[in-house]
Structure 1
Amino acid sequence: MELRQLRYFVAVAEEGGFGRAAERIGIVQSAVSQQIRRLERELGAVLFDRSTRRVRLSAAGERLLPEARLVLAAAERVREVAAGISEGAVGVLRLGTIHGDRLYRALTALAETRPGLQVRLQRLPVVERLAAVREGRLDAALVRAVVEAPGLRLVPLRTDPLYAAVPARHPLAERPRLGLGDLAELPLRLAARERNPPFHDLVTDALRDAGVTAVPGPAFTSLRETLAEIAVGTPSWTVFYDVSGLPPAPGVVIRPLAGPAVVTSLAVREGEPSAGLRELVTVVKRCFPDEGAL
């Protein structure tokens, strides 16, 4: 059974004749008659009473006509949905996510412009996130500080400054802005590379480029715990980027860090991104323009 046969069947039923149905469809009458007979043979039922001058539906035809219309309507709906997916208006976008309330505000804005586009978020470590995009388990992934991803394309979304946190009692706390050279003698609290390879490499590469040999400090745990230890412990410092606003930190001063900045990118497979991904990029850039490197 073919969709065109059902379309011919409905057209003949509505027009009351093969000739008028052929004119409506834009083909010759013999083609309509031939396809209707094929449909009748396949279904094992006579669809039209041809004994009168006006073609009329048989009992079987009357029963099958609503079903044929439902099938054709469903097929049209499939075409509409496919067109919407192509245009980025509908569909499912599987997105590897990162921490931060900016993302959720962007997704709220995306829902307003593309209500038919569903975004399914999955939180994974950055290495696994990128692997999931390569393997097709994710359509894209948001990443920070990643400068290269073999087999993938990185679409920059925004650039954010880094911040240094030092004890409020330390002389460096009086400066409005800090450079890596200013911090050379303070022990650095930096998370182990395996926890976040891109960010670890960003910091260590920036230190090397600045000619600074960092003094290793106590291990970085969480940001809040680390800031609390900086406030009361032996003088040390840490570096971080703003995720959802600078945290309150009694006994600690947070200053913009000159030099390096962290870039948030969308990692996608090579080739043209889908319309849904392009719309996501547009919304993120519109809602959250670059803060820029300080």
Structure 2
Amino acid sequence: MELRQLAYFVAVAEEGGFGRAAERLSIVQSAVSQQIRRLERELGVPLFDRSTRHVRLTGAGERLLPEARAVLAAAHRARQVAADIRAGTDGVLRLGILQGPGDRIYRMLNELAAVAPRLRVRPRRLPLPARLSAVRSGELDAALVRALTNAPGLELLPIWTDPLYVALPAEHPLTRSAMLSLEDLAELPLRLAPREDNPPFHDLVTDACRVAGITPPQGPPFTTFHETLADIGVAAPSWTVFYEVAGLPEVPRVAIRPLAEPALTTSLAVPPGPPTPAVRHLLDVLTRLT
């Protein structure tokens, strides 16, 4: 059974004849008659009574007419949805997200809903390697990543930057400054998480220190973020560097100061080549929010 056969069937029923249906469809009458006969053979029932001067629906034809109309309407809706998906205004956008300030993610989703209200965003929070692998395999359409400068097989499109912050003892003389530079911290032991915990961020900090011409002494081991900050407040002077995730922490005897540079860049990892319409909408929204 073909959609065109159903369309011819509906046209003949609505026009009351093969000739008028052919005119409506802009085809020859013989083509309409041929396709209707094929449809009747496939269904195993006559659809029209041809014994009179006027073509009339049989009982079977009368029963099947609303079903044919429903099928054609569903096909029309499917074509429309496909067209909207091609335009990026409908469909599903599978997006890898990262832990961070929720307001920015919520604003992104709200803006995207205003631009493409039928586009459903399906966010997934995965570790960085799994996030990148999912974009490469097509499991995700795009993924937000921090501090990453290279991702083989993917394109990284910078989206926004965030400042880094330094945590150091509140009584240290450096806290008199409203903002610190890496050069200010050159002699103070640095507590930095092992590279395997977060390679892009670790490389960002160590590369920035090298560019600044400093090699801070290695501080005590970095355990967890909150344990490390608590220890900074009571142990021998040291410092650590971090980015904001859920607001700046308040820890007794610990001061937080912004770091002049480097900044932390968040990028959108996408497959190479022109972005899909849905990803293009996302990029437009992210550009407006920065």
Output the TM-score relative to the length of structure 1: 0.93
**C-alpha distance in structure 2 between counterparts of 1:199 and 1:109, whole Å:** 29
Larger mean CA deviation between 265-274 and 275-284 belongs to: 275-284
Q: 1:177-217 CA distances to partner (integer Å, 9 max, x unpaired)?
A: 21111111111111111111111111111111111112112
Query: 2:288 aligns to what SS in structure 1?
Result: helix
**C-alpha distance in structure 2 between counterparts of 1:104 and 1:220, whole Å:** 32
**C-alpha distance in structure 1 between counterparts of 2:21 and 2:225, whole Å:** 73
Matched residue, 1:168: 170
**C-alpha distance in structure 2 between counterparts of 1:98 and 1:104, whole Å:** 13
- 1:23 counterpart = 2:23: yes
Q: State the shift of 1:109 in Å.
A: 2.7
Q: State the shift of 1:149 in Å.
A: 0.7
Matched residue, 1:278: 280
Matched residue, 1:98: 98
Letter in 1 for 2:288: R
165 and 278 in structure 1: CA distance in 2 versus 1, 3 angstrom threshold? same
Matched residue, 2:231: 229
Selected match of 1:179 from 175, 178, 181: 181
Q: State the shift of 1:248 in Å.
A: 2.4
Query: 2:95 aligns to what SS in structure 1?
Result: strand
**C-alpha distance in structure 2 between counterparts of 1:267 and 1:93, whole Å:** 14
Q: State the shift of 1:49 in Å.
A: 0.6
Matched residue, 1:220: 222
Q: 1:234-287 CA distances to partner (integer Å, 9 max, x unpaired)?
A: 211111122343222332222221221111111011111111111112222222
**C-alpha distance in structure 2 between counterparts of 1:93 and 1:178, whole Å:** 40
Query: 1:215 aligns to what SS in structure 2?
Result: coil
**C-alpha distance in structure 1 between counterparts of 2:169 and 2:281, whole Å:** 43
**C-alpha distance in structure 1 between counterparts of 2:219 and 2:116, whole Å:** 48
Q: 1:74-122 CA distances to partner (integer Å, 9 max, x unpaired)?
A: 1111111111111111111111110121223312332233221121222
Letter in 1 for 2:65: L
- Residues 11-160 of structure 1: pairs in structure 2 closer than 5 A: 11-100=11-100, 101=102, 102-160=104-162
Query: 1:187 aligns to what SS in structure 2?
Result: coil
Matched residue, 1:257: 259
- 1:211 counterpart = 2:228: no
Q: State the shift of 1:226 in Å.
A: 2.4
Letter in 1 for 2:81: V
Q: State the shift of 1:19 in Å.
A: 1.1
Q: 1:118-172 CA distances to partner (integer Å, 9 max, x unpaired)?
A: 2122211112211111111211110000111111011111112211122110000
Letter in 1 for 2:85: I
Matched residue, 2:9: 9
Q: State the shift of 1:219 in Å.
A: 2.8
**C-alpha distance in structure 2 between counterparts of 1:90 and 1:116, whole Å:** 5
Q: State the shift of 1:42 in Å.
A: 1.3
**C-alpha distance in structure 2 between counterparts of 1:35 and 1:43, whole Å:** 12
Larger mean CA deviation between 93-102 and 276-285 belongs to: 276-285
**C-alpha distance in structure 2 between counterparts of 1:220 and 1:97, whole Å:** 25
Query: 2:233 aligns to what SS in structure 1?
Result: helix
Matched residue, 1:292: none
Larger mean CA deviation between 12-21 and 227-236 belongs to: 227-236
Unaligned runs of 5+ in 2: none
RMSD over aligned CA atoms reads: 1.4
Letter in 1 for 2:93: L
Matched residue, 2:244: 242
Larger mean CA deviation between 54-63 and 238-247 belongs to: 238-247
Query: Would you say how many aligned residue pairs link Structure 1 and Structure 2?
Result: 288
105 and 244 in structure 1: CA distance in 2 versus 1, 3 angstrom threshold? farther
